[in-house]
């Protein structure tokens, strides 16, 4: 079990280390990549040899953040730091070998299982980017434009462009700092929250066409099968944040999306809820976790049976509210 530490102690551990390797989670989002990029640049600024471990799931939309930061094959780390990773099951396949070797984790997930030797966890933070921001300040790093850009993407993507209920005053302060530093927030907001590929439009149409409801319309659920996704050439960017769309439906308090994995027939589950329903509690009953408003797990198919189980668990959660 991890020893809990604060941002100052985390900074002290990093300051005393060399050859630092930073891990990000599979199917990476803006928070894990933005946090890793900002931390890596800050460590380099104070004279540390730091790299981000290559993530085979990384897509071009986020890849630019890690240009020049990736570890070369054969790099031997002196300290391994995970960012935005609540459980080693969320490591990429290529990073599984580090599962028992993580020295430090910077995270904001209440469901963090404590796998790292030391854990700087802020459960009420909107994003891991907030934790990294605090660590960078404790390190004495002078945040430059690339660091601010990475932090802006971290906090904006995990708050739905500051619309989700997890949005904090600090997330807004980080955004303000980024804007003051010259970050082109409009370009990033368009890229992450407005622009859609033709595949994305087709995916959304199919998702809504297949959607089923229960609990008097309070629960909405849909699924996407891998053979169909592959047939249209969908990539991970096309599948980002689909569960959020269900919450725009009037009367829906719990949205559930099942997306079949690439490498196995199981389904990745994404659940969103409105207060007071707890998405994390629903997912924990299936071995997953996350946040009260957004959580995930993995279930085997067929999707109709998995959807039924999830909707029953969601109905039980709503009954508690």
Residue-wise pLDDT tens digits, 86-103: 999 999 999 999 999 999
**Other C-beta atoms within 10 Å of 144: how many?**
13
Say whether 133 sits in a helix, a strand or coil. helix
Work out the average pLDDT over 110-125.
Answer: 96
In this structure, are strands 3-4 and 118-121 parallel, antiparallel, or unpaired? parallel
Q: Which residues pair with 258 in a beta bridge?
A: 223, 269
The DSSP element (H or E) to which 59 belongs, if any, is none
Do 3-193 and 198-320 come out as alike in CATH topology?
no
State the average pLDDT for the chain.
96
Domain 198-320, what fold?
Answer: Diaminopimelate Epimerase; Chain A, domain 1 (3.10.310)
Residues 73 and 86: beta-carbon distance below 8 Å:
no
% of the chain with per-residue pLDDT over 90: 93
CA torsion 44-11-119-69 (nearest 10°) is -10
Show the DSSP H helices in the chain as ranges: 7-15, 30-45, 60-63, 128-139, 145-158, 169-181, 185-193, 198-209, 226-232, 242-246, 279-284, 303-320
Of 282, 286, 215, nearest in space to 243 by CA: 282
Which tokens belong to 230? Answer: 């592959």
What pLDDT shows up at residue 57? 93
Mean per-residue pLDDT, 236-258? 93
- What is the C-alpha R_g of the chain? 19
- Give yes or no for residue 30 having a pLDDT over 90: yes
pLDDT at 183 over 80: yes
% of the chain with per-residue pLDDT over 70: 100
Confidence of residue 241 (pLDDT cuts 50, 70, 90): confident
Gap between the Cα atoms of 51 and 40, Å rounded? 6
pLDDT for the residue numbered 289: 87
pLDDT at 278: 95
Q: Per-domain residue ranges for the chain?
A: 3-193, 198-320
For domain 3-193, say whether CATH 3.90.1640.10 is its number: yes
């Amino acid at each position: 079990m991890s020893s809990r530490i604060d941002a100052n102690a985390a900074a002290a551990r990093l300051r005393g280390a060399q050859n630092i390797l930073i891990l990000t989670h599979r199917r990476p989002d803006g928070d894990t990549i933005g946090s890793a990029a900002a931390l890596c640049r800050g460590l380099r600024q104070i004279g540390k040899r730091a790299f981000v471990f290559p993530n085979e799931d990384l897509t071009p939309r986020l890849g630019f953040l890690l240009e020049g930061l990736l570890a070369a094959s054969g790099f031997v780390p002196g300290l391994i730091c995970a960012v935005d990773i609540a459980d080693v099951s969320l490591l990429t396949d290529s990073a599984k070998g580090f599962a028992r070797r993580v020295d430090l984790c910077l995270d904001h997930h209440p469901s963090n299982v404590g796998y790292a030797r030391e854990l700087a966890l802020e459960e009420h933070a909107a994003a891991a980017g907030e934790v990294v921001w605090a660590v960078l300040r404790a390190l004495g790093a002078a945040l430059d434009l690339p660091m601010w850009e990475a932090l802006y993407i971290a906090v904006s993507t995990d708050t739905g462009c500051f619309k989700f209920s997890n949005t904090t005053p600090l997330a807004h302060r980080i955004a303000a700092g980024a804007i003051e530093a010259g970050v082109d927030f409009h370009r990033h907001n368009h890229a992450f929250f407005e622009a859609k590929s033709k595949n994305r439009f087709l995916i959304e149409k199919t998702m809504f066409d297949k959607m089923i409801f229960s609990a008097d319309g309070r629960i909405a659920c849909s699924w996407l099968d891998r053979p169909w996704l592959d047939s249209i050439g969908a990539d991970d960017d096309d599948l980002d944040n689909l569960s959020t769309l269900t919450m725009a439906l009037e009367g829906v308090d719990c949205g559930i999306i099942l997306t079949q994995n690439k490498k196995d027939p199981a389904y990745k589950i994404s659940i969103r809820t409105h207060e007071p329903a707890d998405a994390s509690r629903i997912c924990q009953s299936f071995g997953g976790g996350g946040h009260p408003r957004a959580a995930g797990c993995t279930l085997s198919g067929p999707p109709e049976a998995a959807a039924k189980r999830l909707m029953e668990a969601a109905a039980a959660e709503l009954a508690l509210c």
